C-alpha cells in the first residue's frame, strides 16, 4: 500500500506532476470553499476534469507555502483500493499514519479521488471532520447518488459542493489559447465545439477520428462503471438501447410509458435506468413548468445530454441534427447557472424558462439557488429564423412565455443570426449561439428583483 500511496503523491519527492491547463479562474467558489472548514466535494461526470482541478489545488497549496507533508492524495480508482472498498478501517488507518508525519501541526489537506468507490466513505469523512479540527477534506465523485444515500445524510451541514461540467465555450477558447478571435474564426470554433463538445481532453486533440473514438470510450466507461457495475445490472442490452434512444432524441418530449412501448421494456425499468443515467450526470430531465408538482411529474419530459460531443459520437450525424445539438448546448449552459429550468407549453411552446430568486453575480459553474420566487428568463432555440413560418412559430412561443411570466425581454438563440425585435412593448433579442454566454451573463446580472 505504501508504494501505491507514494506513487500518488509525487510532490513528497519533489517530482513534477501534471496539472493540465488551469481552470481555477473559472471556479472562484472553489478557492472560497478551500478556506472554509466544511468538506469540499467536487462532483460531475467522469473525465470532466475533477482530478485535474484537485491537482491544480495541490499545486496552488504548495506554491503558497503549504508543507508537502501536509498534503495527502488518494485515488480510489486504484485497483488495490478497489479491492478494499468493504474494509471499514481503510481510510482511517491511512489518514492516521500520514497525518502523524505532517509538519508543524498545520492544516492537513486530504484529497480523495472517486470517493464513491469506498463503501464507508461517509462514515470515515464524518469522523475526520468531527474529531480532527485541523483537517480539510477535498473529495471528488462521479455520481450524484453519493449525496442521496442514507450514509451521506450523516454529512448534512458539513459539506459544500461544486459541480464540474465539460468546458463552456469560453473555457474551450481558453484551452486553445484564443483570446479575441475574429468573427469568422469564432463561428468556426463554435462549430467545432458544438460537434465535438467540451471535454478537456477533446479540446486539445487535433485528430477528428481520434476525438470520436475517445468520446465513445468515455460514454462506454460511464455506463459501465457508473451504471452497470454499481447497480448490478444483468440485462445490459435494455440499458444500452434505452440510453441510445434517449441520447438520440435529446430535446424531444417523452414519457416513460411511451418509451417502454417503443423498446418493449417495462415503464418501471425505463424510470429506473433513466435515474441511473441522471445520477452519473450523463443525462438530465427537463419538466414542464407548472405550479403543481403533481402535474410537473405527470406531464411529458424532455431529455438532454451532458455534452454535445457525446451525442454526436454516439447517435446521429452532426449536419442533420445541428438544431438539436444547439438546443442541448443552450440547456447545458443554463444548467451550469440555475437550479430550476423548465420548458413552457400552453397553446405554444418555449424551450426554456428559468426560475430563480438570485439572478446576480453570475460565475461560470456557480448555480443560483435558494427559495425561488419567479421566472426570470425565457429562451427559445432555433438553428435559423430565415424561414418565415419558423420565425413566427418561435416568436409565438417565446412571446406567450414572456406574457405569462411578466417578462419584458426574451431570447431566441440561433446559429449565426442577430437582431432585436420590439413587439407589443416587449423586446426579443435574437443572438448567435457563440455569443450566448456573454449576452445572457450581462442580461441576468442586470436583473433587479
Distances in Å between the alpha carbon of 26 and those of 51, 135, 365, 372, 435? 16, 26, 8, 25, 18
Please provide the average confidence, as pLDDT, over all residues in the chain: 91
* pLDDT tens track for 360-401: 344 444 454 444 358 999 999 999 999 999 999 999 999 999
pLDDT at 291: 80
Grid coordinates in use for 44?
Answer: 460531475
* pLDDT tens track for 334-344: 999 888 999 99
pLDDT at 104: 84
pLDDT at 319: 64
pLDDT at 442: 75
* pLDDT tens track for 391-434: 999 999 999 999 999 999 999 999 999 999 999 999 999 999 99
pLDDT at 320: 72
pLDDT at 446: 58
Distances in Å between the alpha carbon of 361 and those of 180, 372, 436? 23, 16, 17
pLDDT at 296: 79
Q: Which residues, in sequence order, are CB contacts of 185 under 8 Å at separation 6+?
A: 178
- Asked if the model's pLDDT at residue 447 lies above 80, the reply is no
Q: Report the DSSP beta bridge partners of residue 74.
A: 112
Grid coordinates in use for 203?
Answer: 479540446
d(CA 304, CA 328): 6
CA 150 from centroid of its chain's CA atoms: 23
Q: How many CB atoms lie within 10 A of CB 111?
A: 24
pLDDT at 143: 86
Decide yes or no: CATH 3.40.630.30 for domain 2-163.
Answer: no
- Asked if the model's pLDDT at residue 307 lies above 50, the reply is yes
Higher pLDDT, 295 or 270: 270
Residues 349, 381 contacting (CB under 8 angstroms): no
* pLDDT tens track for 239-251: 999 999 999 999 9
d(CA 380, CA 444): 16
Most confident of 97-106, 146-155, 267-276: 267-276
- Asked if the model's pLDDT at residue 254 lies above 90, the reply is yes
pLDDT at 448: 46
CA 211 from centroid of its chain's CA atoms: 20
- Asked if the model's pLDDT at residue 266 lies above 60, the reply is yes
- Asked if the model's pLDDT at residue 359 lies above 50, the reply is no
pLDDT bucket at 293, cuts 50 / 70 / 90: confident
| Sequence ranges of the chain with CATH classification 3.40.50.300 | 2-163
Percent of the chain predicted with pLDDT > 90 = 82
Q: Which residues, in sequence order, are CB contacts of 78 under 8 Å at separation 6+?
A: 4, 8
- What size, in residues, is the chain? 449
Residues 137, 118 contacting (CB under 8 angstroms): no
Q: Where does residue 311 rank: exposed (0-12), middle (13-18), buried (19+ CB within 10 A)?
A: buried
d(CA 9, CA 1): 13
First vs last Cα of the chain: how many Å apart? Answer: 55
* Window from 4-13, 147-156, 168-177 with minimum mean pLDDT: 147-156
- Asked if the model's pLDDT at residue 145 lies above 90, the reply is no
- Asked if the model's pLDDT at residue 50 lies above 90, the reply is yes
Amino acid at each position: 500500500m505504501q508504494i501505491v500511496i507514494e506513487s500518488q503523491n509525487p510532490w513528497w519527492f519533489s517530482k513534477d506532476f501534471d496539472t493540465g491547463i488551469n481552470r481555477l479562474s473559472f471556479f472562484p467558489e472553489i478557492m472560497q470553499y478551500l478556506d472554509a472548514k466544511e468538506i469540499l466535494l467536487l462532483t460531475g461526470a467522469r473525465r470532466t476534469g475533477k482530478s485535474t482541478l484537485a491537482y491544480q489545488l495541490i499545486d496552488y497549496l504548495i506554491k503558497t507555502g503549504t508543507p508537502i507533508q501536509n498534503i495527502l492524495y488518494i485515488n480510489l480508482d486504484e485497483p488495490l483500493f478497489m479491492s478494499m472498498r468493504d474494509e471499514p478501517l481503510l481510510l482511517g488507518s491511512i489518514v492516521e499514519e500520514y497525518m502523524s508525519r505532517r509538519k508543524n501541526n498545520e492544516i492537513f489537506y486530504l484529497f480523495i479521488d472517486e470517493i464513491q468507490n469506498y463503501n464507508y466513505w461517509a462514515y470515515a469523512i464524518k469522523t475526520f471532520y468531527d474529531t480532527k479540527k485541523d483537517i480539510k477534506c477535498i473529495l471528488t465523485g462521479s455520481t450524484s447518488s453519493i449525496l442521496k444515500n442514507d450514509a451521506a445524510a450523516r454529512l448534512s451541514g458539513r459539506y459544500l459542493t461544486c459541480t464540474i461540467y465539460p468546458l463552456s465555450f469560453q473555457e474551450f477558447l481558453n484551452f486553445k489559447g484564443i483570446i479575441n478571435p475574429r468573427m469568422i474564426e469564432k463561428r468556426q470554433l463554435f462549430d467545432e465545439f458544438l460537434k465535438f463538445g467540451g471535454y478537456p481532453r477533446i479540446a486539445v486533440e487535433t485528430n477528428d477520428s481520434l476525438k470520436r473514438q475517445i468520446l465513445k470510450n468515455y460514454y462506454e466507461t460511464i455506463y459501465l462503471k457508473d451504471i452497470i457495475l454499481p447497480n448490478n445490472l444483468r440485462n445490459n442490452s435494455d440499458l444500452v438501447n434505452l440510453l441510445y434512444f434517449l441520447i438520440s432524441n435529446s430535446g424531444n418530449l417523452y414519457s416513460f410509458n411511451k418509451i417502454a412501448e417503443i423498446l418493449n421494456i417495462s415503464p418501471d425499468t425505463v424510470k429506473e435506468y433513466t435515474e441511473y443515467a441522471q445520477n452519473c450526470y450523463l443525462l438530465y430531465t427537463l419538466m414542464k413548468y407548472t405550479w403543481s408538482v403533481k402535474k410537473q411529474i405527470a406531464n411529458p419530459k424532455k431529455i438532454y445530454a451532458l455534452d454535445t460531443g457525446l451525442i454526436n459520437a454516439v447517435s446521429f450525424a452532426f449536419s442533420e441534427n445541428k438544431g438539436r445539438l444547439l438546443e442541448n448546448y443552450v440547456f447545458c449552459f443554463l444548467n451550469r447557472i440555475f437550479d430550476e429550468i423548465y420548458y413552457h407549453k400552453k397553446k405554444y411552446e418555449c424551450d426554456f424558462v428559468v426560475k430563480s430568486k438570485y439572478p446576480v453575480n453570475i460565475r461560470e459553474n456557480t448555480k443560483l439557488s435558494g427559495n425561488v420566487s419567479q421566472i426570470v428568463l425565457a429562451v427559445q432555440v432555433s438553428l435559423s429564423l430565415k424561414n418565415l413560418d419558423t420565425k413566427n412559430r418561435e416568436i409565438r412561443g417565446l412571446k406567450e412565455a414572456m406574457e405569462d411570466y411578466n417578462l419584458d425581454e426574451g431570447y431566441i438563440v440561433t446559429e449565426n443570426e442577430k437582431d432585436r425585435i420590439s413587439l407589443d412593448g416587449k423586446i426579443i433579442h435574437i443572438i448567435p449561439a457563440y455569443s450566448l454566454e456573454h449576452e445572457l451573463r450581462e442580461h441576468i446580472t442586470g436583473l433587479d428583483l
